[in-house]
Chains A and B, each alone.
Chain A
């Protein structure tokens, strides 16, 4: 069998210039060595940097380069484009021709796996239940699988870490107030929030999986029908999905929406989507009061956020934000793809890092301010008499009809205006201190602490694995008693709340005034008046919803 060397015909004008350059190799005695002359000529026309360097190093090389440059200029003036573009154009044209002649796709091939999956997940009736089922499974996994790690982190922070700090302070003979500052403000406040890092890692892992697989676009598509009820379209659901992570980037994401009215309405609804900062509040109360059903309660909070957003949207559409001419909703559904583990891990780490950074800055600062307000006037023994207690006590009556009219909760809710996680850090500071502070552990050596941390982590990993496997129907590896681990905060909360008042509080936390960063984003994008409207309407809606839930529950005998 004989083979012939393939040569792509670049067309008369290009071929003439290629031949001219090949001839110049002989004329100027250029040794092309191992390179085919035609290939070298084409590369010179394309002004390939490596080849130019190679030829320039040869005797008479400059003359050949100059000739190639003249050819390129000539071709550009004749054909109206850069030579490298002309060459690439010919190559792509040839490839396209070959593909057309040699590849015949039967019609059936056009129905891809993506189309088949989309037939189900974007189905008129099945699409929405599938979306909510996926969210339900995700939050059950987040809560159940992270619970052993949450207990482990709590044990590490309140055990060995608190012990090391105390030891260090003893070594430098630190005064009692310094002990109080470190243990209550830093460990109680910041540590109380850092405990949720394992849960957030898992939440962001699942969100990244949904995004990278291409499902998120389907969720927007599925929600389009419902968004139209509130005078929006599916495009507005994308910022709302982002709002499950953090409302601030979600507010800026409304820039993708063309109509200003649609943008404003979307921005007013985005903070009703339960952001990750609210998750610590749900988890603390959920695990303290609802145990194994905490995942369901948390899922209900996310679903309630969407429902209230729909209702609020309907009200706005009929009052201050009447719809303008509707624009068509065009959303591209990319093909499903297998998420890349590296990309998912990067996404998960970057979002969690942001949470940890906030714990080390905003929450640390807030915890220090809280500590000052809780301990001044200096020497105050009953925290109710502190500046914080006095201010919180003054506003507490406003929350009494909602079932949580004590000064501790009222104060924690006010501090949540800075960032929602601070509700937990404030409650940690108040209740952990009131219950005698971080539990005094038996004296241990540093090596014993490290071994304990390692063994605890392995235990948590095994427990999480068992919980994960128990999700498979018919497999039950979970020891129910082992699940019922308690934190100091959980025990303290059970003394102050009932399941009904807890539900009312969770609803209030879900719906009340957005954090200061979110209001800043709304002000930046739409002006101060819309930021004020957002703060006022959400607080009013939160109060009414919590009131109806609590008072309705009492009437039905759930108190």
Chain B
């Protein structure tokens, strides 16, 4: 499942959101969220904001209004 998820994101330059990934993998968002968290923790994926910048580089975190409106996207690191 994890490798399938990483493969799915490998060709997506702008990344995918949690719900897009869930739809494409035909899996529940709650299950996909846990996988995404693990992959981000392991440095395989990065969370990016709606402007394409990596969330970890921005100090706003939970205060980001854009994220609240549009949600995070995930891209493959490197």
Q: Which residues of A contact B (CB under 8 A)?
A: 81-82, 84-85, 88-89, 92-93, 95-96, 99, 211-212, 216-217, 220, 238, 241-242, 245, 249, 253, 255-256, 331-332, 334, 343, 346-347, 350
Contacts and interface: CB of A to CB of B under 8 A. Distances in A.
B57 interface: no
Given A84-B42, A93-B1, A256-B50, 14 more contacts: A81-B3, A88-B35, A92-B1, A92-B31, A96-B31, A211-B68, A211-B69, A220-B69, A238-B66, A332-B17, A332-B70, A334-B19, A347-B63, A350-B63
A81 B31 CA distance: 21
Contacts of B68: 211-212, 216
A89 B3 contact: yes
Given A82-B42, A85-B42, A256-B50, A96 B1 contact: yes
A332 B31 contact: no
Given A85-B2, A92-B31, A92-B35, A216 B69 contact: yes
Contact of A238 (B3, B27, B38, B69): B69
Contact of A255 (B42, B51, B63, B71): B51
Contacts, number: 62
B3 A334 contact: no
Contacts of B70: 217, 238, 256, 331-332
A343 B67 CA distance: 14
A336 to B, nearest CB: 13
Interface in B31-62: 31, 35, 38, 42, 44, 50-51, 62
A253 B58 CA distance: 14
A249 B49 CA distance: 15
Contacts of A253: 51, 65-66
27 contacts: A84-B42, A85-B42, A88-B38, A92-B1, A92-B2, A95-B31, A96-B27, A99-B27, A99-B31, A211-B65, A211-B68, A212-B68, A216-B68, A217-B70, A220-B69, A241-B69, A242-B66, A253-B65, A253-B66, A255-B51, A256-B50, A332-B17, A332-B19, A334-B19, A343-B62, A346-B63, A350-B63
Contacts of B42: 82, 84-85
Contact of B71 (A211, A256, A332): A332
Contacts of B10: none
Interface-central residue, B19, B38, B65, B70, by most chain A CB under 10 Å: B65
Contacts of B65: 211, 242, 245, 249, 253
B31 A256 contact: no
Nearest to A95: B31
A242 B68 CA distance: 11
A178 to B, nearest CB: 40
Contacts of A332: 17, 19-20, 70-71
Contacts of A96: 1, 27, 31
A42 to B, nearest CB: 16
A128 B69 CA distance: 19
B69 to A, nearest CB: 5
Given A89-B2, A89-B3, A256 B66 contact: yes
B43 to A, nearest CB: 10
Contacts of A334: 19, 71
A422 B38 CA distance: 49
A85 B68 CA distance: 30
A153 B69 CA distance: 33
Nearest to B49: A256
A95 B69 CA distance: 31
Contacts of A217: 69-70
Contacts of B50: 256
Contact of B1 (A89, A220, A255): A89
B60 to A, nearest CB: 10
A216 B71 CA distance: 12
A95 B25 CA distance: 14
A242 B50 CA distance: 14
Contacts of A241: 69
B17 to A, nearest CB: 5
Contacts of B1: 89, 92-93, 96
Nearest to A253: B66
A256 B19 contact: no
B59 to A, nearest CB: 13
7 interchain residue pairs of minimum CB distance: A92-B1, A255-B51, A89-B2, A256-B50, A256-B51, A211-B68, A93-B1
A88 B44 CA distance: 14
A95 B28 CA distance: 11
Interface-central residue, A89, A220, A245, A350, by most chain B CB under 10 Å: A89
Contacts of B28: 99
A255 B48 CA distance: 13
A353 B38 CA distance: 36
A88 B2 contact: yes
Interface-central residue, A81, A92, A212, A249, by most chain B CB under 10 Å: A92
B19 to A, nearest CB: 6
Interface-central residue, A84, A220, A256, A346, by most chain B CB under 10 Å: A256
Contacts of A88: 2, 35, 38
A249 B68 CA distance: 14
